[in-house]
């Protein structure tokens, strides 16, 4: 049993912590196999160790999967559990990824769900293009 006072976030297993720390250090998106390679020295041997850790981290909102990159990125919002819907804005040149999460995003998703009579479970919103910096080169 866990008697330690904490901030409300669930305890993470060793593997989950390793993956989380790595994603936070790198800050950009990493593929599952990049994560595996980076964590070999920490004892990772197989993809499933990565995927299982990611599954947990995604379920608690600390990591997101960027579908169009088949990659994973640490949540930039102190965890999205509360905030709900986010969008990713991806520069195809410098590969920088911004995570955007504001009222307009969740409003849009809510409206879309109503309009299509859907009970929404999950959304992926990803915008590719050139970031401010890369447009002017």
Partner DNA sequence: ACAAAATAGTTATAGTATAACATAACATAC
Partner DNA sequence: GTATGTTATGTTATACTATAACTATTTTGT
Which one of 10-18, 29-37, 39-47, 100-108 is the stretch in contact with a copy of itself (CB under 8 A)?
100-108
Could you tell me the two tokens for 85? 């819907």
Closest CA to 126 of 99, 93, 88, 84: 88
DSSP per position, 22-44? HHHHH-S-B-HHHHHHHTGGGT-
Interface with a copy of itself, residue 27, by CB under 8 A:
no
Query: Toward a copy of itself, which CB reaches closer, 41 or 132?
Result: 132
Q: What is the spatial distance between Cα 74 and Cα 16, in angstroms, rounded to a whole number?
A: 12
Using CB under 7 A as the criterion, which residues of the chain lie in contact with DNA when the complex forms?
Answer: 1, 13-16, 31-34, 43, 45-49, 51-52, 65, 70-71
Its sign, for the CA torsion 38, 65, 21, 76, is: positive
What DSSP state is assigned to residue 71? E
Interface with a copy of itself, residue 113, by CB under 8 A:
yes
Q: Which of the listed partners (a copy of itself, DNA, none) does 1 bind, with a CB threshold of 5 to 8 Å by partner kind?
A: DNA
Binding stretches for a copy of itself (CB under 8 A):
67-68, 87, 89, 91-92, 98, 100, 104-105, 108-109, 111-113, 115-132, 135
């Amino acid at each position: 049993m866990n008697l330690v006072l904490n901030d409300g976030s669930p305890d993470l297993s060793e593997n989950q912590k390793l993956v989380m720390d790595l994603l936070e250090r790198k800050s950009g998106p990493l593929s599952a196999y990049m994560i595996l390679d980076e964590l070999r020295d920490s004892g990772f041997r197989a993809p499933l160790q990565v995927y299982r850790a990611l599954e947990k981290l995604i379920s608690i909102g600390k990591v997101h999967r960027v579908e169009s990159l088949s990659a994973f990125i640490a949540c930039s919002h102190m965890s999205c559990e509360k905030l709900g819907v986010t969008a990713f804005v991806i520069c195809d040149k410098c590969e920088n990824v911004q995570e955007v999460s504001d009222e307009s995003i969740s409003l849009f998703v809510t409206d879309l769900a109503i309009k299509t009579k859907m009970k929404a479970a999950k959304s992926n919103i990803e915008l590719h293009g050139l970031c401010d910096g890369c447009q002017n080169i």
